[in-house]
Amino acid sequence: MNPQAVPGLQHRTVLLQEAVEALAIDGARADGVFVDGTFGRGGHSRLILDRLGPKGRLIAFDKDPLAIATAQQIADPRFAIVHDSFATLGEALAARGVQQVDGILLDLGISSPQVDDAARGFSFRLDGPLDMRMDTTRGMSAAEWLATESEQTIGKVIRDYGEERFAFQIAKAIVARRAVGPISSTRQLAEIVAHAVKTREKGKDPATRTFQAIRIYINKELEELEVALEAALEKLGPQGRLAVISFHSLEDRIVKRFMASRANAPQPDRRLPIRAADLPQPVLKLLAKMKPSAAEVSANPRARSAIMRVAERTSVSLSSKP
């Protein structure tokens, strides 16, 4: 779907130029294979295609049926879209005969059109059905989950994925409310949270953390990120680039730890008789950490929390990784 087709559903791709530059699509690499793990509305993908050579390939992923509809409008033989999570990139690339890639971009979180479409249920500012699924063709909606899950589990999810200090008070209020009738709209949930949260940071809606937590849990965002990072490492060829854009601390923490652990090989006890050539070597090289410029944040306030981390695959075999 073209975001311009629905009033208000505009999307600004965050760190557009910077992310594509990080993939280093130039020289012989321009005829390589690249992956856009989250097509969204195609900002990164279209710029990657502009940089690719005639023999280059771009394989994009997305779970959102509307993103898939937009991607299918791209009539370029170098481009392919996969209607699935980037967590499946290992299997999806293998199924297409791709054993090695030159660059992978993962743009995490949700897009502006998803947030701004009340029917998707992501926003506490718009009243709509309490869905929150990125892929509306499969899985359990937020409303269905809240109707059946235990109070303890709801509280744990809101605490762990939303870092919400009033998580268990909110969970108790949800369970009490559903005993009266189903919680089926975003406005209902936002009102329940507002009554349960007694204090909140200035300028922040009480429902922010709860909506974030439920969305992350329903879509298995953190679990899929961990799987995708491992798959990316397996598929990247020597000097292949991995660029990941995160929008909140939980995502960024996973990315930071993953990259750092693969870039810093543990050193054995110096007293052991091990040759320098036999010492464990890192499989990633850290290249950059970047945030949007002040000008970009001014033009697109939703970019303010974005962090991009970039790493490069070394020539060390994974079979010899620590």
User: Do residues 269 and 298 lie in contact, with contact meaning Cβ atoms separated by under 8 Å?
Assistant: no
Count the Cβ atoms, other than its own, within 10 Å of residue 314. 18
Q: What residues are designated binding site?
A: 42-44, 62, 86, 107, 114
Angle value at C-alpha 86, between 81 and 88, nearest 5 degrees: 95
Helix (H, G, I), strand (E, B) or coil at 91: helix
Domains and CATH numbers, the chain: 3-112+221-320 (3.40.50.150), 136-218 (1.10.150.170)
Q: What residues are designated binding site for S-adenosyl-L-methionine?
A: 42-44, 62, 86, 107, 114
Angle between helices 208-218 and 151-162 (to 10 degrees): 100
The single residue listed with the structure tokens 């020597």 is 238
CA-to-CA dists, residue 224 to 11, 43, 108, 248, 293, angstroms: 24, 22, 11, 15, 29
**pTM for the full model?**
0.89
- Which among 254, 308, 261 is positioned nearest to 283, based on CA atoms? 261
Structure tokens, 274: 């091990």
Structure tokens, 22: 């990080």
Q: How far apart are CA 244 and CA 93, in angstroms?
A: 19
Question: pLDDT tens per residue, the chain (322 residues)?
Answer: 333 333 334 567 999 999 999 999 999 999 999 999 999 999 999 999 999 999 999 999 999 999 999 999 999 999 999 999 999 999 999 999 999 999 999 999 787 778 878 889 888 888 999 999 999 999 999 999 999 999 999 999 999 999 999 999 999 999 999 999 999 999 999 999 999 997 777 778 899 999 999 999 999 999 999 999 999 999 999 999 999 999 999 999 999 999 999 998 655 556 565 655 555 689 999 999 999 999 999 999 889 999 999 999 999 988 654 4
Q: How far apart are CA 87 and CA 290, in angstroms?
A: 24
Structure tokens, 238: 């020597």
| Class of residue 239 by CB neighbours under 10 A (exposed 0-12, middle 13-18, buried 19+) | middle
Q: Tell me which DSSP letter residue 168 carries.
A: H
